[in-house]
């Protein structure tokens, strides 16, 4: 059992390395894009940008329906025909896209936003549709552990996206030009992903009523939980856009934009884990699920704790470097929101395990309670404390969901994670904090890279990670397909 889990986790690790390298390039390009946008748009203009995407995210749940996680679960079921299921999902997504593209801009026109925001919603709706299509197709690459193709697609698109931003800024096309570059980004990724996906399995438009019923049955609890999730995750910016100035929205939205990059990176990794968890759940292999969850928990916690600790020291200089001195306050906000990001990482792990177990309906009550609390909290604290109130309320809501998800896993699997690695990660992070404190004001890049190296050296010395697993990752031996469990073999 342990050998099998380690073998599968090694495959995941290999794909994670590919993703990490590609994502590092994408993140670098995305940060360049963020810096260009923030400096060009300023506080107010970036407030417009944040308002547009918070609006789309809130109302986009009418279209998303939690289909990405449902796709991973359904195409990982060995009892189903992968090609037929995936074709039906793509068809379902196209049909709902047409509805979404007509409805959301019309609803946006009813809100008391400035004209440029309403126009931006129309353009960004197209980008949002491409993004949703891409998330579904990414599930296929995650399932087959061929993420290098998705990485090629994303990096290629991001290069053109940055070039598009440069052109839009050079010709002073304003916010709508920025939105156009985002549409171009999504379109290119979609075309490349679709091309690679067609080389992996047969894809065609297909509407099988029985499969569509299965898709809806699987996805509606996810749709409801994601809808409630977005109430507290994006409700802060949405409420701020209605009762605060656009400058305040911009200051709060800027760190959100940066942190979403980290969140997406974590979910790409977790997306690789979901098919393996789903396969284990399908045969009721509790021991395997527990082993996987603990291993991934240990990995995530070694990333989360130094991220939070390091962010306390470096968030302001990072934000100032990228967005300019006008966004220095955003750095302070980011150091708070990193607490929420850490909670999201771990809640994502438990949430994917819950999806694999098929018990997502049992989480609905927790999301509903959290949504109610968050709306009340935002309405109380945002008018009084502006972005500070929003940030701390966001931390509270994400911690609530993390605790709730951990409770459900404890109840279903009689499992609660061990904290030996977490304790060592905390010790190494505190040592890193002391290093940064003694280092004082110095070149940001030197501080960032030297502190990261210092952390991992300390973690290694106190045996904070499994060196045998690292050795396997470095070897990066390709597993023979025949040694893979049936759920991991290409259909």
Q: What is the arithmetic mean of pLDDT over 409-433?
A: 92
Q: Which of 92-96, 99-103, 303-307 has the highest mean pLDDT?
A: 303-307
- According to the model, what pLDDT value does residue 427 have? 95
- According to the model, what pLDDT value does residue 454 have? 94
Q: What is the arithmetic mean of pLDDT over 206-219?
A: 80
Calculate the dihedral angle through the C-alpha atoms of 176, 178, 182, 183, rounding to the nearest 10 degrees. 30
Q: b/e for 344-374, b at 16 or more Cβ within 10 A?
A: bbbbbbbbbbbbbbebbeebeebbeebbeeb
Q: Is the pLDDT of residue 147 over 50?
A: yes
Q: Is the pLDDT of residue 77 over 80?
A: no
Q: Pick the residue with more confidence: 486 or 59?
A: 59
- The mean-pLDDT minimum among 131-135, 173-177, 245-249, 429-433 falls in 131-135
Q: Tens of pLDDT along 223-233?
A: 777 677 667 66
Read off the tokens for 121.
Answer: 């919603």
- Only one residue has tokens 């470097």, namely 321
Q: Is the pLDDT of residue 90 over 70?
A: yes
Q: Pick the residue with more confidence: 408 or 441?
A: 408
Read off the tokens for 192.
Answer: 């490349």
- According to the model, what pLDDT value does residue 117 have? 93
Which residues are CB-contacts of 220 (< 8 A; sequence separation ≥ 6)? Answer: 65
Q: Is residue 71 within 8 Å of residue 136, measured between CB atoms?
A: yes
Q: Pick the residue with more confidence: 305 or 464?
A: 305
Confidence tier at 279 by pLDDT (50, 70, 90): confident
Q: Tens of pLDDT along 436-451?
A: 998 877 788 899 999 9
Read off the tokens for 289.
Answer: 């699920």
CA dist., res. 247 & res. 250, Å (int): 5
- Only one residue has tokens 């008018």, namely 383
Q: Is the pLDDT of residue 469 over 70?
A: no
Q: Is the pLDDT of residue 4 over 60?
A: no
- According to the model, what pLDDT value does residue 310 have? 94
In whole angstroms, how far apart are CA 30 and each of 66, 249, 311? Answer: 25, 20, 19
Confidence tier at 145 by pLDDT (50, 70, 90): low
Q: What is the arithmetic mean of pLDDT over 54-74?
A: 71
Q: Is 210 left (phi over 0), alpha (psi -120 to 50) or beta?
A: alpha
CA dist., res. 97 & res. 107, Å (int): 15
- According to the model, what pLDDT value does residue 330 have? 93
Q: Is the pLDDT of residue 3 over 60?
A: no
CA dist., res. 27 & res. 34, Å (int): 10
Q: What is the arithmetic mean of pLDDT over 260-283?
A: 75
Q: Is the pLDDT of residue 478 over 50?
A: no
Q: Is residue 137 within 8 Å of residue 153, measured between CB atoms?
A: no
- Indicate the average pLDDT of the chain: 82
Q: Quote the percentage of the chain above a pLDDT of 90.
A: 36
Read off the tokens for 9.
Answer: 């986790």
- The mean-pLDDT minimum among 10-14, 47-51, 259-263, 342-346 falls in 10-14
- According to the model, what pLDDT value does residue 146 have? 66
Q: Pick the residue with more confidence: 354 or 273?
A: 354
pTM assigned to the model: 0.75
Q: Tens of pLDDT along 338-368?
A: 999 999 999 989 988 888 888 877 888 888 8
- The mean-pLDDT minimum among 77-81, 360-364, 467-471 falls in 467-471
CA dist., res. 146 & res. 19, Å (int): 10
Going through 17-86 in order, the beta strands assigned E by DSSP cover none
Cβ atoms within 10 Å, residue 57 = 17
Which residues are CB-contacts of 246 (< 8 A; sequence separation ≥ 6)? Answer: 43, 44, 47, 48, 51
- According to the model, what pLDDT value does residue 15 have? 55
Confidence tier at 19 by pLDDT (50, 70, 90): low
Q: Is the pLDDT of residue 7 over 70?
A: no
CA dist., res. 446 & res. 412, Å (int): 46
Confidence tier at 68 by pLDDT (50, 70, 90): low
Q: Pick the residue with more confidence: 359 or 15?
A: 359
Which residues are CB-contacts of 406 (< 8 A; sequence separation ≥ 6)? Answer: 346, 350, 416, 417
């Amino acid at each position: 059992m342990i050998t099998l889990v380690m073998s599968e986790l090694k495959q995941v690790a290999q794909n994670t390395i590919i993703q990490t390298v590609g994502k590092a390039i994408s993140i670098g390009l995305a940060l360049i894009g963020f810096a260009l946008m923030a400096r060009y748009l300023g506080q107010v203009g970036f407030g417009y940008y944040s308002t547009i995407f918070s609006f789309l995210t809130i109302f986009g749940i009418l279209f998303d329906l939690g289909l990405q996680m449902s796709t991973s679960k359904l195409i990982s079921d060995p009892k189903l025909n992968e090609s037929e299921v995936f074709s039906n999902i793509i068809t379902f997504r196209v049909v709902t896209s047409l509805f979404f593209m007509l409805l959301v801009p019309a609803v946006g026109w009813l809100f008391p936003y400035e004209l440029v925001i309403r126009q931006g919603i129309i353009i960004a709706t197209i980008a949002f549709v491409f993004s949703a299509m891409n998330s579904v197709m990414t599930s296929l690459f995650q399932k087959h552990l061929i993420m290098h193709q998705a990485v090629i697609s994303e990096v290629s698109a991001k290069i053109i996206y940055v070039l598009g931003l440069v052109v839009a800024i050079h010709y002073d096309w304003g916010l709508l030009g920025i939105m156009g570059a985002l549409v171009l980004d999504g379109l290119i990724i979609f075309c490349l992903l679709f091309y690679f996906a067609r080389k992996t399995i047969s894809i065609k438009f297909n509407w099988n009523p029985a499969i569509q019923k299965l898709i809806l049955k699987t996805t509606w609890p996810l749709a409801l939980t994601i809808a409630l999730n977005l109430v507290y995750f994006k409700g802060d910016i949405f409420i701020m856009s209605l009762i605060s100035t656009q400058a305040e929205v911009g200051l709060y939205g800027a760190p959100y934009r940066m942190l979403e990059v980290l969140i997406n990176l974590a979910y790409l990794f977790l997306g690789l884990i979901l098919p393996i968890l789903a396969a284990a759940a399908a045969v009721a292999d509790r021991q395997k699920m527990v082993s996987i969850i603990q291993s991934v928990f240990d990995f995530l916690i070694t990333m989360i704790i130094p991220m939070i600790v390091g962010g306390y020291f470096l968030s302001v200089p990072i934000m100032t470097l990228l967005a300019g001195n006008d966004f220095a306050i955003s750095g302070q906000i980011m150091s708070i929101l990193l607490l929420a990001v850490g909670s999201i990482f771990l809640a994502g792990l438990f949430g994917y395990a819950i999806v694999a177990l098929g018990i997502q309906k049992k989480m609905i009550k927790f999301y509903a309670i959290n949504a109610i609390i968050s709306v009340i909290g935002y309405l109380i604290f945002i008018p009084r404390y502006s972005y500070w109130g929003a940030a701390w309320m966001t931390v509270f809501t994400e911690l609530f969901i993390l605790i709730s998800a951990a409770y459900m896993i404890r109840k279903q699997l009689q499992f609660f994670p061990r904290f030996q690695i977490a304790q060592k990660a905390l010790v190494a992070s505190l040592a890193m904090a002391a290093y940064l404190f003694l280092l004082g004001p110095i070149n940001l890049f030197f501080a960032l890279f030297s502190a990261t190296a210092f952390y991992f050296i300390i973690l290694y010395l106190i045996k904070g990670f499994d060196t045998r697993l690292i050795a396997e990752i470095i070897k990066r031996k390709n597993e023979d397909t025949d040694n893979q469990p049936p759920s991991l073999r290409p259909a």
